[in-house]
Structure formats: structure tokens, C-alpha cells
Amino acid sequence: MYTSVNRRHFIHHLSALGIGLILPFGCKESIPKDIRITRIVQFELRGKRPKYVGKNSQRDDHTEYGNDKGILVYTNNGLTGVGTHWGDEQALRSLLGKNLLDWYLPEDKKVNTGDRSTMAFWDLLGKYYEKPVWQLLGESVRDQVPLYDGTIYFQDLIPQYADNYMDQFKKEFDMGVSAGHNFFKMKVGRGFQWMEKEEGYQRDIEVLAACREYVGPEIQIGVDANNGLDLESSKKMLQDLPEFNFAFMEEMFPEEVALDLEFKTFIRENGWETLVADFESQKEVEAMLPFMKAQCIDVLQGDMNQFGIEGIMAEAAISKPYGGRVAPHNWGSMLGYYCQLHLGMVIENWYMAEQDWMTSPLLIPDGYSVKDGFTSVTELPGFGLTLMEDKLEEKAEVLLDIHS
């Protein structure tokens, strides 16, 4: 897992080797008051997981790789920002020549570019103000951010593990605990398409029971069906494993107020404390409001890259009056992972960050370290991320390079 390094010694060492870096520093006094966008490079950054990840109920093997779509934003004063961006070329071209400070609304905690992908611009602002992004987003409400390991998939359906799949599950829990985790999410819903329905459900139960026995009661576990079950089988899972102590149940079936309310009522009436989580596939914050008013969803999981910083903040705001909590969905995105942690420092009704842990030789995070189910968050300017720009074309696919 990532640990903090001595940045000054690290930079000195790389400089001696002739390796160029994009440094997350900026001297505010020497920077003009207009920070104009002069160049944008969009790239696909490939991350490698420490293991091969199998199927979920909807998708085939996820493999050991994940692809992040990011941008580097260059300015007229030498600052460079890095972040995710899933928009199109036209959206990016519209940003060239614009003044970043014209977009920044500090009282509203927003960067109003007209695009949801604002991570790179927050990174620039952090460097300009010489503050980590979380300090620009608000007052901290915690010292560290709680998170879970979201990588326990259908490893039993990978051919090489078929004869001893429980050994593989045990190995993966051990890997996660060694990396600092004490909270995990497991996939269920094998009977949606990969196995016969009842056989798949029984395999779900078998794997869950065996894993709970192995890790013991102190490790927290949530489950995610990716809409691969239905209301009745979701209820049955709770009844068949009454002592399992599910921390949350995510996307058990397609969200619908009446169904989710029946499910939540069933959980309450049986005295379980299991939370109901959903909305990773939702594209608009407003669509979550009826579920909040009905108090049938406990945890909102808008996707980190789909909603962006402003969208997740809005999600937290609409859910807070109803007791809702926020746990952004973040799969396959190293950049999105670090972005969500800054939100976790300032959102009062925060629940968990999701980690799909990957590394890349191009991306160097500083100031993040996972221990006992929490991660520290950098105090360096911006997101505390260094992207090795001089290796970009060699180690990543450059999708677009535009200039003003």
C-alpha cells in the first residue's frame, strides 16, 4: 500500500537521474491573478492491481488492469494540474484560453467550468493557494478517511482457482488486511448469468459463510449484487445468514422506491443494522431525492468520476437532512480514488471510500497511507500527486494534445 515518502530527497534523487517531474508546488506571490489554460493533454493511464480480479454478476473478468482517463492541464504561469476527465474533445477545447480564477466560486466550493470533471482544476487551485484540495473544500471533520477494499469478486469462477477457491478467498482477505484494511466488499449474484439461479445463490451463501468464519466477527463486510438479485432473494440472504452482520447491501436489485422501502422495512423489523446502498449507475443527483424522502436508501454511491467533486458534494447535501450517507463508487480509477479522499475529509455525512487498489509507475502519490481501515490524506498542495510527464508517451496512451 502507498506510504508517505521524503519528497525533498525523492525529487533530488530523480533530478540527479535527469527525470523530469510535474511538481505540486506553487508560489502564490509570484503567480499572476489570471491563470489561463494554455494546453490540455488527455491520456489513458493503465493501472495494475496486485491480483487478477474475476467476474461480478454483470461483467466478465475485470483482470489485473484498470484504465483511467485523465488530463494534464497546463497554464500560462507554469502550474500544471492532473485529474480525471471523461468528456469529449469539444468540451476540452472550450476550456483553452480561459482563466481558472473566473471559474472558481470559493464560497460555494465549486469550480464552474460547465463540466463535471473538475479534478485537475482543483489540483491547480490547490497549487496556487499552496493548500491541499480538502482545505479548499471546507473545514476538516476527521483526521483520516475510512475506506474499504472493494476487490473481492467471483474468484471461484476463475478456472485456476476452481478446485480450491476458498484458499484463494482467504489469500485475498489476508492481502487486504496486510495492506491496512479491516472492511471489505464482496460480490454476490452468481446466479444472474454465470450459474443456474439457485445454484448461484447457494454458492453466494457458501462463500459468504466460509469467508465470515475465516476472518471472524471483527472484520466488516458489505455485499454488492450489481442488481443481480431480486427483493425476495435479498431478504432470503439475510435470513439464511442471520449472524453474518452485513455492514451494507449494495445494488441488490434495480432501485425502485417501493421495493427499496419494503427491503429497508424488512431489515428494520428483524433488528438488523445493515445499511442499504445504491445509485452507482445514477447520473443525476436529483433522481436520488425521492429515495431520501422515503428513507429507504441509507448510503448514496454516485460514481466519483461521473459526478465529480461538485456532484458528490451536492449528493451529500441532499442526503444529510434525511440521515443519508455518502460512499462514492470508484472502480478502475487511481485518480478518482485520491480525489474522493479529499471529499472524505470534509463531508460530515461521509460513510466510506472505495479502493480498487492499483499502481502505475507514472503516478506517485505522497501523503497517503492506509492503516486499520483508515487512510491519511496528503497535506501537500493540490492532490499531492506527481505525474512523470516525461514518461507519459512511453508508458500511457496519449489521446489528445491541444493548445491555445
Instruction: Tell me the pLDDT of the chain (404 aa) as tens digits.
Output: 333 444 434 333 333 333 333 333 334 444 457 899 999 999 999 999 999 999 999 999 999 999 999 999 999 999 999 999 987 888 899 999 999 999 999 999 999 988 889 999 999 999 999 999 999 999 999 999 999 999 999 999 999 999 999 999 999 999 999 999 999 999 999 999 999 999 999 999 999 999 999 999 999 999 999 999 999 999 999 999 999 999 999 999 999 999 999 999 999 999 999 999 999 999 999 999 999 999 999 999 999 999 999 999 999 999 999 999 999 999 999 999 999 999 999 999 999 999 999 999 999 999 999 999 999 999 999 999 999 988 888 888 999 999 98
The domain segmentation of the chain, as residue ranges, is 7-131+388-403, 145-381
**Sheet (strand 37-53) strand order:** 80-84, 63-75, 37-53, 397-403
* Pairing status of strand 397-403 against strand 37-53: antiparallel
φ, ψ dihedrals at 295, nearest 5°: 55, 45
| Look-up of cell digits 458528490 | 312
Q: What integer pLDDT is reported at residue 32 of this predicted model? A: 53
For 39, residues 6+ apart whose C-beta sits below 8 A from its C-beta are 72, 73, 74, 96, 401, 402, 403, 404
CA pair distance 384, 381, nearest whole angstrom: 6
Helix (H, G, I), strand (E, B) or coil at 141: coil
What region, left, alpha or beta, does residue 323 occupy, with left being phi > 0 and alpha being psi -120 to 50 degrees?
left
What cell does 153 get? 469478486
CB 11 within 8 A of CB 43: no
Q: What are the beta bridge partners of residue 152?
A: 186
- The crossing angle, in degrees rounded to 10, of helices 231-240 and 197-215 is 40
Amino acid at site 30: S
**Range 7-131+388-403: architecture per CATH:** 2-Layer Sandwich (3.30)
What cell does 8 get? 525533498
Q: What integer pLDDT is reported at residue 5 of this predicted model? A: 41
* Pairing status of strand 275-278 against strand 299-300: parallel
What cell does 349 get? 455525512
Query: What is the distance of C-alpha 366 from the center of its chain?
Result: 17
Q: What integer pLDDT is reported at residue 373 of this predicted model? A: 98
What distance separates the 2 farthest-apart alpha carbons in the chain?
Answer: 67
- Type and span of the H or E element at 311: helix 304-319
CB 145 within 8 A of CB 377: yes
CA pair distance 102, 403, nearest whole angstrom: 20
CA pair distance 26, 80, nearest whole angstrom: 10
CA pair distance 233, 43, nearest whole angstrom: 42
Please give the CATH topology (third level) of the domain spanning 145-381: TIM Barrel (3.20.20)
What cell does 377 get? 490524506
| Look-up of cell digits 464482496 | 186
φ, ψ dihedrals at 284, nearest 5°: -130, 135
For 88, residues 6+ apart whose C-beta sits below 8 A from its C-beta are none
